[in-house]
Structure 1
Amino acid sequence: MNAPAPLPFFIARVGDDGTQCDAWPQQPLLVSLEQGGIDWPSSCRNGTCRTCIGMLAEGQVRYEVEWPGLSPEEKAEGCVLPCVAYPLSDVKLEAPGI
């Protein structure tokens, strides 16, 4: 009996209004959001400007670069930079101040 194949993508939810899109593990969350028609602020796309900062309310992400643009305290609070964050599971993102 073969084990089930892993899902090719995850689901990214934004806020509490049901907005969601496919989140591909091989590309940054910001790209998946944009491909899904979700407007999320962005600028540098390399993790330094912090324009895309949000809160990871649910799920897990990984980074392919050293932790850019966030302090250890922000990381511990759940801040995330979608431009350089890759999903490891379904995720829920919240814009700052929500």
Structure 2
Amino acid sequence: MEPQPNDPRLQEIHAAILAGQKIQAIKLWRELTGAGLAEAKESIERITEEARAKNPKEFAQQPQPKGCLVAAVAMIFAGISAGLLFAFFTGR
């Protein structure tokens, strides 16, 4: 089933695509159309490419993940390691 062009749920799908939430967009598409997983994935990829071609500026403004979580985990690991080494070598 193809959704009607004026269906407000299409705006929600478009917002998910712009936010980089592909899985959410696929889920919403499946709920809207009753499509299977593979068909919904293909539809969302097609819609994404069409939207990217029509409005490249919308996609260029998306923030890219910076890897802050990885850096934070590395810092915590380094701190724990330093503490363990200090305790080992000082006998505390």
Q: Does TM, scored on the shorter chain, surpass 0.5?
A: no
Bigger RCO of structures 1 and 2 (CA < 8 A, at least 6 apart): 1
**TM-score scaled by length of structure 1:** 0.24
Higher share in helix: 2
Between structure 1 and structure 2, the one with the greater Rg is 2
**TM-score scaled by length of structure 2:** 0.25
